[in-house]
Amino acid sequence: MAQSTTGTSEYLNTYTTFSGADIVASFAGVSVGELSGITFSVTREKAPIYTMGSPNPRSFSRGKRGIAGSLIFTVFDKPALYNVLAQNDNGNQLQYFTRTHNVLGGTQAGTGNLHRGISEVGNDSHSVVKQVPYYADQIPPFDITITFANEYGQMAARSIYGVELLNEGSGASMDDIVLEETMTYVARELGPMYSIGESDAEMANLASAATDLSANIIRP
């Protein structure tokens, strides 16, 4: 017996959920397929204000807010952020400035390399040069866009703005069948999760959706 299309559309219009398999994340406009997990948290300082004659607080003062989280990458045959660095190298979007003596030596720049050699920047230790990062903490701030799309055609997105990477760590063991790399970060702002329609998704790829739809984002 054929199912009623009316009943099916009722469920499609009512229930909207996503899982980790429905998520694609882009860093600085580049989709990162190695990402297997992402967390974020928002904390804020709030202190009670007391006055004489009452054991209970009269009010609460609000202080600084902190936004932080972690990134978990699956390690293949390259560093987790290799594609982000390589694809943005020509546009100089992810390069940073440093002294010559801080540049990692012994490696010549070429296809597949993330850093420059000493011979390319000279031997003057007082000069300032532009380099491609070879540590995660050297990467300039970037935005992370998380897009959701399930099998019913329902879509949503949220963004993390001004991400600064702090720590990175990895390891290997005989008991590990999958190698992972973990990074922690702090951010300037965390955008809310909002639903997007098919027309919104068709007008741009997943990386540029947050920029094109920024007018619909409620900024804190």
Q: Which domains, ranges and CATH numbers included, belong to the chain? A: 22-46+60-92+139-213 (2.30.110), 96-131 (no CATH)
Do residues 109 and 118 lie in contact, with contact meaning Cβ atoms separated by under 8 Å?
no
pTM of the model: 0.71
Pick the range with the lowest mean pLDDT from 31-35, 110-114, 123-127: 110-114
Mean pLDDT of the 107-111 span: 37
Q: Which long-range contacts (CB under 8 A, 24 or more apart) does 99-103 make?
A: 99/125, 99/126, 99/127, 99/128, 99/129, 100/124, 100/125, 100/126, 100/127, 100/128, 100/129, 101/125, 103/129, 103/131
Task: Please give the average per-residue pLDDT across 127-142, as a whole number.
Answer: 79
Q: Give 190's pLDDT tier (boundaries 50, 70, 90).
A: very high
